[in-house]
Each structure stands twice: as structure tokens, then as C-alpha cells.
Amino acid sequence: MKLGSKLILLTILASLVGCSGNSGRYSIKQDHGPAQAVDVSNVPDAVPRAEPKSRGGNKSPYRVLGKTYYVMPSSLGYKERGTASWYGKKFHGHKTSNGEVYNMYGMSAAHKSLPLPTFVKVTNTANGRQVIVRVNDRGPFHGGRIIDLSYAAAKKLDMLGHGTANVEVEAIDPGSWNSTTVVAAGSATAPVTRSEPGGSRYLQVGAFSLQATADDAKRQLQTMFPGYPVRVAPVQRSDQVLYRVQIGPVRLDANLAELVSRVEAAGYLRPHLVD
């Protein structure tokens, strides 16, 4: 091989190695969501639990784009309002700051200074919708943004169209997390309350835009909980019909907590009681 050809080959190889580094490891230049809208109504919120700090992503201070950032020693008491953005397919399948793999269909987020991992409740202040996400990544490093949400979390908050939203972010202490407090997809937090004796109450495990999805969930729950009746209850919401999947009637006793835990373990949204 001639010297000139060798130099050309070495130049090409060097450029390929450069693209495989952090600065060029993403094959997509402009971030976006999936090619077609994905129904994330059955994606469960992150469930707060005590976890040790990740080995990766908690170095303090650290520098990005010439700026220095400091990681909080603890997330306790953290509450902040600001602008949220979201990230999707560009980063899907790549490692997050703490070494996990980013899944844009999961309930996760990136934050510049919260310890990794941290569970936070995010409220879209424009429509009241809330989600619970697990912070396992660093960012966003754009001015004026306080949190970067996964595609699924952003869709539940109804912020995909605008790209950003004004939100309130509040850290959750898993040690004092009230297991009777639930967050349904796109709804406000509501405590489980006791009804009067003789009243019929149902454990709602999800609300779906497609009846076929609700019917599949019903069949799965009937198989898992043969001692409980399961129903699909349609409800009209503005110009859309939602198909609510409910277990019951249920009794408000010690067995209810066990039922809730088993439903959550099946991968459904944190359930809540309805009349």
C-alpha cells in the first residue's frame, strides 16, 4: 500500500474513533420521540424505595461545558419550581450518568445536583398532572431548565407538544413515603380514604384509551386474583372515552394493603380507591 493511501486510511480510522467518544457517540443529532405516538398509560410511576447512592454520577464537584456543578449531600427537603424539558430517542439505549441504560419509555429523569438516585414528584403547574420519576442521570445543561424528563414522563404530563413545561419538583423521602398516597397517570395526588360502612369501593388499577388494552388487563388480573371480580368501567372525558379497569368491590381491611402490593408488583400503576 502506498504511503498516501496509508495516510488516508489512518485519517478515516481516526475520525471513526473520534465519533465513538462521548462527544460523538449519539447517532442522532436532533433529539426526538418515537416515529409514532406510543401509549404510555400502562407505564407505572417509579415506586419510591430506599437505595444506596450510585457509584457513578455522584462526583462533586463536576464540570460540564465549562461550568462547575455541585451534588447535594441529601435530597431531603428539596422543592423547586422551574422549567422542565424532556429527552428521547437520541439518548435511548445509551448509558446514564450512574451507569444504567436510558429507556425513554421508563419513568426516569436527569437533574444537575440531586444525588443519584433520587425519587421526585413532578407536577405540571399548568394542568395539575403529576408523575413520580427516578432521577438517574445528569442534566439538563441548558440555561433555565431544572429537570429533564423521559419521553414517557413528559407524555403523561402532556408537555410533548410544547417541549417544555413549568413544573414543581419535590423530592420524596422513601423512608416516610405514605403507601396510601397514590399518583395515577395524568392525575393529581389523592389519598386513599375510608368510606362509610356498607359503601362499595373499587380498586382502580388503570385507565386506558383503548378498550382492547383494558380487556387484556382485565384478563390478566382475573388470572392473578381469582378471588376478586374485575370489571372495565368506561367513562367519557371531554372528547375521549377512558376504559377504567377496577378490582372489586373490595373490603377496607388489612388484606387491601396486600392486594395493592400485588397489583403494583404486576407492573400496573399505583392503584387507588374509587366509589
Supply the CATH number for residue 219's domain. 3.30.70.1070
Question: Quick one: 159 and 80 in the same domain?
Answer: yes
Quote the domain boundaries for residue 141.
Answer: 27-176
Asked whether residue 187 is assigned to any structural domain, the reply reads no
Same domain flag for 170 and 210 = no
Q: What is the dihedral of CA 58, 59, 64, 66, to 10 degrees?
A: 150
Take residue 165 and report the three cell numbers written for it.
413545561
Residues 140 and 235 in one domain: no
pLDDT band, very low/low/confident/very high, at 270 (cuts 50, 70, 90): low
Given a cut of 90, is residue 166 above it in pLDDT? yes
Mean pLDDT over the full length of the chain: 77
Residue type, 252: L
> Residues 103-147: pLDDT tens digits?
888 899 999 999 999 999 999 999 999 999 999 999 998 878 999
pLDDT in tens, 19-30: 333 444 545 565
HEC per residue, 8-36: HHHHHHHHHHHHCCHHHCCCCCCCCCCCC
pLDDT per position as a tens digit, 71-101:
999 998 899 999 999 997 777 778 999 998 8
- Same domain? For 49 and 96 the reply is yes
Does one domain contain both 60 and 110? yes
Q: How many CB atoms lie within 10 A of CB 263?
A: 22
Asked whether residue 90 falls in the same domain as residue 135, the answer is yes
Does residue 186 belong to any structural domain of this protein?
A: no
**Number of domains, the chain:** 2
Q: Are residues 57 and 171 in the same domain?
A: yes
Higher-confidence residue of 90 and 249: namely 249
57 domain residue, yes or no? yes
- Burial of residue 234 (number of CB atoms within 10 Å: 0-12, 13-18, 19+): exposed
Does 212 lie in the same domain as 106? Answer: no
